[in-house]
Structure formats: structure tokens, C-alpha cells
Amino acid sequence: MPGFSRLQRRFADNGVQFVGIGIDSLQKMSAYVKEVPVTYPLLVGDAGLLPIAAKLGNAVGGLPFTLVIDKKGVVDVARLGIWKEAELAEHIEKLLRQ
């Protein structure tokens, strides 16, 4: 999340928007972001989101799960696991050049 926050600040002027969706309670998420502030919107969901995540490429229901959606609203990448900040920055830059 700190890396996503840095990338949000870096690419915001290019129209890039990060959104986090937590599968947890509002209270737990609120407590977490007091310790680890984020610079992008966070939404709270429940286990009902897991079938949607499965349709988007997260068949095992693991976290973290990242979707990159391009300018046309099409899922460009669905990735389970931690995405290194430098790798994601490179991918975003590639998409912005298209």
C-alpha cells in the first residue's frame, strides 16, 4: 500500500487512479490506515466480492490481488501477490505510452 500511494502521487497527473478494496470490517481498515496512510480511495467489501474476484482472475481468493484497467476500461492485468513498485511503475508507463 505504501508503494501504491507513491505511484498514485507519481501518476495522478496522467489520469491514473488507484482504488483499494478491503475484504474486512470498516473498523479494522480504519485502524490500519491510521498506521499506514494511503493516498487513494479505499472501499470496504465482504466475502461476497470473492466470486467477482474469481471471475476477474483470482480463482483462489488470495490477497493481495491487483487489477490494472486500461483507458478503455478493459482489464489489462490481473495479478495475485505482491507487485514490486518498480515493476508496476514500468507497466503503468508502458500503458501511458499506448
**pLDDT at site 47:** 87
Q: What is the pLDDT, as a whole number, of residue 60?
A: 93
- Predicted confidence at residue 91, as pLDDT, reads 97
pTM value is 0.89
Domain of 29, CATH number, reads: 3.40.30.10
* Cα 79 to Cα 87: distance, rounded to the nearest angstrom: 12
Domain boundaries, position 17 = 2-97
* Contact present, 94 and 70 (Cβ < 8 Å): no
Residues of the chain with pLDDT under 70: none
- Total domain count, the chain: 1
